[in-house]
Amino acid sequence: MVGFFAPSGYLPDSAVMDSAAQFLAARGWRVSAGDTVFAREQRFAGPDSLRVGELQRFATDRSLDLAVSARGGYGLSRVLDQIDYAAIAAAQLPLVGYSDFTAFNLALLAQAGGISFQGPSAADFSDHADAVFTMEHFFGAISQSTYGFDFEPAADLGAPDVLDVRGRLWGGNLAMVCSLLGTPYFPRVHGGILFLEDVNEPAYRIERMLLQLLHAGVLARQKAILLGEFTSIPSLANDNGFDLAAACNTVKLRCPTPVVSGLPFGHGRRRVTLAVGAQARLTVSAGRAHLQFHGHPSLRGG
Q: What pLDDT does residue 257 have?
A: 97
Catalytic pick from 69, 116, 197, 296?
A: 197
Q: Which of 207, 229, 267, 298 is flagged as catalytic?
A: 267
Q: Which of 69, 99, 126, 179 is catalytic?
A: 99
**Residues 276/101, Cβ–Cβ less than 8 Å:** no
39, 63 Cβ separation under 8 angstroms: no
- 290 noted as active-site residue: no
250: which residues sit within 8 A by CB, 6+ positions away? Answer: 207, 211
267 included as an active-site residue: yes
69 is catalytic: no
Instruction: Calculate the dihedral angle through the C-alpha atoms of 219, 101, 261, 207, rounding to the nearest 10 degrees.
Output: -60
12: buried, middle or exposed (CB in 10 Å: 19+, 13-18, 0-12)? exposed
- CA 168/CA 236 separation, integer angstroms: 36
Instruction: Give pLDDT tens digits along the chain (302 positions).
Output: 999 999 999 999 989 999 999 999 999 999 999 999 999 999 999 999 999 999 999 999 999 999 999 999 999 999 999 999 999 999 999 999 999 999 999 999 999 999 999 999 999 999 888 899 999 999 999 999 999 999 999 987 778 999 999 999 999 999 999 999 999 999 999 999 999 999 999 999 999 999 999 999 999 999 999 999 999 999 999 999 999 999 999 999 999 999 999 999 999 999 999 999 999 999 999 999 999 999 999 997 55
Q: How many CA atoms lie within 13 A of 40 on its CB side?
A: 7
Best CA proximity match to 20, nearest among 9, 32, 12: 32
Residue (of 187, 133, 193, 185) closest to 163 by Cα position: 193
| pLDDT at res. 302 | 52
Q: What is the pLDDT of residue 65?
A: 97
What backbone torsions phi and psi does residue 283 show, to the nearest 5 degrees? -125, 145
